Amino acid sequence: MDISRKRFLEALASGSALLLISGCGGGGYGGGGGTVMPTSSCSGDIAANHGHVLPIAVADLSSASPKTYDITGTATHSHSVTLSVAQLGQLKAGAAVTVTSTPATTDGHTHAVTVSCIIY
């Protein structure tokens, strides 16, 4: 399964991506070329976005309690998004989930946030 460049960069920015690269050249393990192993990752697509990001650790998908995330990113105001235990389970099973952020304190606007995960 291929991961898009955007989803890969979002995963890197959220800290939920881990790349495993084997050694190149001489010494140890036969000196083969580098191999990038696919990793699981989650990302959020934020409607009407102006700098917000949604970092979700893949480990959170197994949580027994709801998880709340701050999506401020580089925006000048904050929002949060809460995923229920059932929604975390849906993400773990490969389904996308859409939630609405809390209102901004500046003008009360919200964002629809669609979360999806690639599970290997």
Distance CA 36, CA 13 (A): 18
Distance CA 31, CA 113 (A): 45
Residue 97 has pLDDT above 60, yes or no: yes
pLDDT of residue 79: 95
Distance CA 72, CA 52 (A): 5
Q: Judge contact between 77 and 65, C-beta under 8 A.
A: no
Q: How confident is the model at residue 95 (pLDDT cuts 50, 70, 90)?
A: very high
pLDDT of residue 36: 72
- pTM (two decimals): 0.68
pLDDT of residue 85: 97
pLDDT of residue 84: 97
**Which token pair is 29?**
């393990």
- The per-residue pLDDT for range 59-89, each reduced to its tens digit, is 999 999 999 999 999 999 999 999 999 999 9
66: Cβ contacts below 8 Å, ≥ 6 apart: 82, 83, 84, 85, 88
- The per-residue pLDDT for range 3-18, each reduced to its tens digit, is 555 555 555 555 444 4
Q: Judge contact between 53 and 73, C-beta under 8 A.
A: yes
- The neighbour count for residue 54, using CB atoms within 10 Å, is 26
Residue 27 has pLDDT above 80, yes or no: no
pLDDT of residue 47: 96
pLDDT of residue 23: 38
